Amino acid sequence: MMRISGALRFCVCLLLGCVISLAIPVLRPDVGVTAPPLDSSLLAQSSEPDVLLRRGRTAYEAGEMASAAESLQEAAQAYGERGEPLNQAIALNYLSLAQQQQGQWREATEAIQESLTLIGVPSATARDDRQRLFAAALTTQGQLQLALGQAEAAFESWQEAERRYERLGDVEGRWGSQLNQARALEALGLYRRSCDQLLDVLTSGALTCDGLAADDPDVRTRQRGELLAAIERQPDSPLKAMALRSLGNQLRLLGQLEASERILQASLDTSELDGDRSLAYLSLGNTAKAKVNRAFNLRQFDIEEDDDLTQAKASSLDSYAMTALGYYQRAIDLSSSPSLRLQGQLNRLDVLSDLIRIIPQRADYLQNKLDFELIVISPANPLVSDYQQQIAISSSQVQQLTQEAEQLINQIYPDLSSLPLSKVKVESQLKLACHALDCNQINLQQPTNNLGFHRERVFNLIQQSITEADQLGSLGLQSYGYGVLGKFQEQGRDWDEAITATREALMLSTQEVRKDLSYQWQWQMGRILQTRHEEDFGVAEVSSEAINYYRQASKSLKQLRQELAALDSIIQYDFRDNVEPVYKQFVELLLRGDTVSSDSLEEARNAIEDLRIAELNNFFQDACITEEEVEVDEIIDKQDPTAALIYTIILDDRLEVIAKLPGQDLSHHSVTQNEQGYFQKVLWNLYVGLIDVTRNRSDVKPNAQEIYEWLIAPISPKLEESNVKTLVFFLDTILQRIPMSVLYNQNTDKFLIEDYAIAITPGIKIIQPQSFDTVGVSVLGGGLSESRENLADLPGVELEIENISQLLPTRVLLNQTFTRSAVENLVGSGLFSVIHLATHGNFSSDPEQTYLVLSDELLKVRSMDAVFRLNPLATANMIELLVMSACKTAQGDERAALGLSGMAVRSGARSTVATLWPADDESTAKVMPDFYEQLKAGKNKAEALRAAQLNFLNQLRYEGVDNPKMEFRKWAPYILVGNWL
């Protein structure tokens, strides 16, 4: 294990003391980047240049950059006159550092280039002092390049510096160069490589970032334990503190928030200087803020129950926000660096702005929970009053936070103006301007934060940023500046100026190959052009130019999938705010008007598919969801001409339905909603009516009938003419919570299951389908009848699996034998093409809350592909059918069905049968075995599930149940996803 010396040479301290932060590299006078050692034998002991050099170094360490630069300039000139090139190179290296601190980028570049020229490129046999000076100058050059946005060049400079230090046997110098390379990789967006680089430094390559973030909890826990042990073995030092801080930042970017927090706390504990502690607090604040984002994205608004009812209640989101604000304030209080204080202030403003936006949404959410009685508790319970209190005080909370934010803004402006020209300054100015414009809410054409920004002041801030970005030569910053200017002009409805600025932003982002910026400006251009077109020609008119820009934005997002998926969904663009609207607005324009061409229908359908893939990639945080081989259209036209495919997408003002009938072109119809949010209200009421046992079951029919009128009634005559027997639905996410079987036709007094077999497809392309033959099929049947994880027992599981085993050869794993290793080994053998799991499961929009309950652990969705992976030597090449018969979707989570789609896709099974809520044991024990009986009789999967459900209804009727069709909780939760044949 590599050890760290306690006495670090000044050049290494400067080399390693660079600030590492989430977005903005901060330059600090007391922690420069690199400098050669002053005790070099090259220096004369009492010469005038030496005195000047020492004076310059002293001023530099004191943060007096102008005085330092003056002394260092004189020292360099004096060494030159005396013909001492290496000493002159030392002075020029220091001079470049001082000039960088003052934002004098041209002068700093000239100084370091002259220093490198004087040193020359040392040969392998050159003296150590020349090698060391060359490595130090390369490190200074790398810092300059990184500050100017030239991360790739910086990486190359630091790579060469590492090679030089390695030749010298300088462990600290080599380690410092590796840490700096990690900074460059972070700036390039290569977060996993950056993380691995840091782990290589800390553990000599023993651990990897993939291991720390492994889906397997055992692997993750073991590797994190080994990392902490390795950290403990390292003696405390500034080097260790910096490495830990950098690693904590990388883990945050990769979504490992708990691990990030633990590593950053270790960095804080290791730091002795106030400046280093300030940096640690800033990073801890960023991790806490990431937790705020996660809680918001997952709508974690519930107030946490506590045994101590005297304590004020708060949601996880509130707790994380308060923690983040506290960390940022400590960073501000401890720091003597203006740029670091500014970053703390801006990040505090981020959290305040987020809370101002979130609190009204939380109040609406809590009110809905009370209105729809999802909290089944006594009105006298203190938790009810806590919810009511949170709703009541939301307005005053927003007012108080707004006042605090406005005070902070007034502090930030003068601090900004005092910063020297730098990438930090420009980014900070644009960040502040974005607070005024609500840039994080890209879709909004008017800001919602009401923080009292003056438009003229914001305009001047943006213009100044563009000018300074040009002086820095950063195309990325210029692109962002012009894009923000376009947003500013868009909000002012100055369309010509908005188009000019956005077009310039797009051109610069293309030159920089920044698709993450390009898609935003393509989308912004489409919005601007369409809004102007509507003002000129009417709301119904569509701009072909706007559609073309939306098309480009959609294409850019498709190309970005792999890069966006490398980060956790809480770090990526907020999917619902900044990705989903691109696709939905594109579809809205394509389908607008009385007559829609077949080409537009096809393009709209493809856009919906791209949205679904992006949504699943966002859910998994990887780009494993790709288009499969066979289009559903082809299956309908060639393999199953009795099936029809129905696509749905809910837009802001209407519901669009696209239908594909066998042998026919695409058709479509629209349903305009009566009021904002009406579709969601009807869907929510139906969902609650289906799952809430306290509700009157007659409430279901009106809502189920309305959805039938939306989706099925307009195409019902065509379905009958085409002799369609199976309906395959591609559903908008919030529709996926509703089993289509319950849609109600009032004219015939029938539910949809009585007329059609039903299936759900996760995409317009699916795994190559084939008919299912039960001959030679073996079933792996696993389940829990005993209680686990505070979940009730399922006594009917044993009967369910026993009944299945009487129909097909079944290997049973029950209770204690139903372990992860047993399931993994048996599935991997390839002997079982049907996997039947009768156990509790949960589907959620949070992958960490999407799981199946095994006897020894929760099998989470991210581990599904590993557990269900077939052995390469296995005779079977596909799991034909996965059944999960006791699952539920998370209540209050409108996107919970994402978890079901994720399970279906991640398992790799051709078809998946699951429940949207737990049916009672009696019904499952009857429906599931009958499903297999119908498969044995030769029915396809969709027909078999339908027959089993109808048979169960008939059985209830035979048993004397009054109106059995109204027993939705018993017969309706079953759905089939994927191949229906």
Q: Does 893 have pLDDT greater than 80?
A: no
Dihedral over Cα of 77, 78, 79, 81: its sign? positive
Closest CA to 488 of 499, 473, 477, 478: 499
Q: What's the whole-number mean pLDDT along residues 838-853? A: 84
C-alpha 145/C-alpha 925 separation (Å) is 67
| Predicted confidence (pLDDT) per residue in 108-145, tens digit | 999 999 999 999 998 878 888 888 999 999 999 999 99
Q: Treating both helix axes as pointing N-terminal to C-terminal, what angle do 580-590 and 544-565 enclose, rounded to 10 degrees?
A: 150
Q: Does 41 have pLDDT greater than 50?
A: no
Q: Among 65-69, 185-189, 386-390, which is the least confidently predicted range?
A: 386-390
Q: Residue 587's pLDDT is what? A: 95
C-alpha 753/C-alpha 769 separation (Å) is 23
Give the tokens for residue 229: 């042990």
Q: Residue 713's pLDDT is what? A: 97
Q: Does 875 have pLDDT greater than 70?
A: no
Q: Does 619 have pLDDT greater than 60?
A: yes
Read off the pLDDT band of 444 (50, 70, 90). Answer: low
Q: Among 96-105, 488-497, 561-570, 790-799, which is the least confidently predicted range?
A: 561-570
- Is residue 874 classed as helix, strand or coil in its secondary structure? coil
- What is the DSSP code (8-state) at residue 315? B
Read off the pLDDT band of 381 (50, 70, 90). Answer: low
| Cα 341 → chain centroid | 28
Q: Does 495 have pLDDT greater than 90?
A: yes
Q: Residue 534's pLDDT is what? A: 92
Q: Residue 273's pLDDT is what? A: 86
Considering only residues 723 and 20, tell me which one the structure prediction assigns the higher pLDDT.
723
Q: Does 46 have pLDDT greater than 80?
A: no
Q: Residue 869's pLDDT is what? A: 67
Q: Among 215-224, 725-734, 916-925, which is the least confidently predicted range?
A: 215-224
Q: Residue 375's pLDDT is what? A: 44
C-alpha 353/C-alpha 398 separation (Å) is 10
Q: Among 407-411, 657-661, 764-768, which is the least confidently predicted range?
A: 764-768
Q: Residue 891's pLDDT is what? A: 64
Give the tokens for residue 358: 């979130």
C-alpha 818/C-alpha 379 separation (Å) is 41
C-alpha 356/C-alpha 53 separation (Å) is 52
- What is the DSSP code (8-state) at residue 31? B
- Give one DSSP letter per residue of 233-272, joined into a string: HSPP-HHHHHHHHHHHHHHHHTT-HHHHHHHHHHHHHH--
Considering only residues 96 and 438, tell me which one the structure prediction assigns the higher pLDDT.
96
Read off the pLDDT band of 215 (50, 70, 90). Answer: low
> DSSP 3-state helix, strand, coil percentages of the chain (rounded to 5)?
60, 10, 30
Considering only residues 1 and 185, tell me which one the structure prediction assigns the higher pLDDT.
185
Look at the block and give the residue holding tokens 């949170």: 390
| Predicted confidence (pLDDT) per residue in 771-796, tens digit | 788 888 999 999 999 887 678 888 88
Beta strands (DSSP E) in 700-809 are 726-730, 744-745, 750-751, 757-760, 765-766, 779-783
Read off the pLDDT band of 459 (50, 70, 90). Answer: very high
Read off the pLDDT band of 510 (50, 70, 90). Answer: confident
Q: Is the pTM of this model over 0.85?
A: no
Closest CA to 382 of 315, 312, 302, 319: 312
Beta strands (DSSP E) in 553-699 are 630-631, 643-650, 654-660, 667-672
Which amino acid is located at 573 in the chain? Y
Q: Does 571 have pLDDT greater than 50?
A: no
C-alpha 476/C-alpha 478 separation (Å) is 5
Q: Residue 734's pLDDT is what? A: 79
Read off the pLDDT band of 18 (50, 70, 90). Answer: very low
Maximum Cα interatomic distance, the chain, rounded to a whole number of Å: 110
Q: What's the whole-number mean pLDDT along residues 921-937? A: 91
Considering only residues 309 and 195, tell me which one the structure prediction assigns the higher pLDDT.
195
Look at the block and give the residue holding tokens 């007391």: 30
Which amino acid is located at 858 in the chain? L
Q: Residue 376's pLDDT is what? A: 45
Read off the pLDDT band of 633 (50, 70, 90). Answer: confident
Which amino acid is located at 550 in the chain? Y
Residues 6+ apart with CB under 8 A from 575: 297, 569, 614, 615, 618
